């Protein structure tokens, strides 16, 4: 399964490239974005190094990493990312998303997560999960809109596991 461009109503999900780091460092610069996910904004150099690792692919041959930047077509700018860690043999994926502060509250993360979920299902993924901090209501709303439901499972960081399970 190759990471390929995905078109949504207002967004293009563009496969991540190292060259996106400079623009994305500005998109992800708000420390408030790390309230629920931890860490802190990365410098352009640190983000470039991270993107180099991500685009190199998973060191585990049984797992594939799929990462996209979100390009808002009307403004022709990057606004966030989505990612999927896929285990094809198990037909499972863990997904995550983040949008820069100026673009939150406009339904763009929901649009991106729905497009990603649809793409994964089209590629025969049957179980999709996301890990969401229990107080992160906006992220929970995105997960719900993408078809995931909260479970009773809590991961090691205290995040709730959300899941979409399809037959087959």
pLDDT in tens, 137-166: 999 999 999 999 999 999 999 999 999 999
Write 95-100 long-range contacts (CB < 8 A, 24+).
Answer: 95/120, 95/128, 95/129, 95/130, 95/146, 96/130, 96/131, 97/139, 97/142, 98/28, 98/33, 98/37, 99/70, 100/26, 100/27, 100/28, 100/30, 100/33
Q: pLDDT grade, residue 5 (50/70/90)?
A: very high
Distance between terminal CA atoms of the chain? 18
Per-residue pLDDT of 53-82, as tens digits, reads 999 999 999 999 999 999 999 999 999 999
pLDDT for 77-118, tens place per residue? Answer: 999 999 999 999 999 999 999 999 999 999 999 999 999 999
Tell me which DSSP letter residue 28 carries.
T
Band the pLDDT of 168: cuts 50, 70, 90: low
The pLDDT of residue 77? 98
What's residue 1's pLDDT? 83
What average pLDDT does the segment 118-137 reach? 97
Task: Calculate mean pLDDT across residues 38-55.
Answer: 96
Comparing CA positions, the residue from 114, 122, 112, 110 lying closest to residue 166 is: 122
Least Cα distance to 166 among 117, 130, 113, 112 occurs for 117
> What pLDDT is recorded for position 17?
98
Q: How confident is the model at residue 30 (pLDDT cuts 50, 70, 90)?
A: very high
pLDDT at 167: 79
């Amino acid at each position: 399964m190759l990471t390929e461009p995905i078109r949504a109503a207002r967004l293009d999900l563009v496969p991540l490239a190292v060259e996106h780091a400079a623009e994305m460092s500005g998109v992800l610069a708000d420390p408030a974005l790390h309230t629920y996910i931890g860490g802190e904004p990365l410098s352009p150099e640190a983000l470039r190094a991270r993107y180099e690792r991500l685009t190199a692919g998973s060191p585990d041959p049984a797992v594939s990493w799929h990462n996209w930047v979100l390009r808002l077509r009307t403004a022709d700018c990057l606004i966030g990312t989505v990612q999927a860690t896929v285990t094809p043999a198990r037909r499972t994926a863990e997904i995550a998303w983040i949008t820069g502060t100026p673009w939150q509250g406009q339904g763009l993360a929901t649009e991106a997560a729905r497009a990603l979920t649809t793409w994964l299902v089209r590629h025969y993924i049957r179980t999709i999960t996301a890990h969401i901090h229990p107080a992160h209501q906006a992220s929970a709303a995105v997960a719900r809109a993408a078809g995931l439901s909260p479970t009773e499972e809590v991961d090691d960081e205290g995040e709730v596991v959300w899941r979409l399970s399809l037959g087959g």
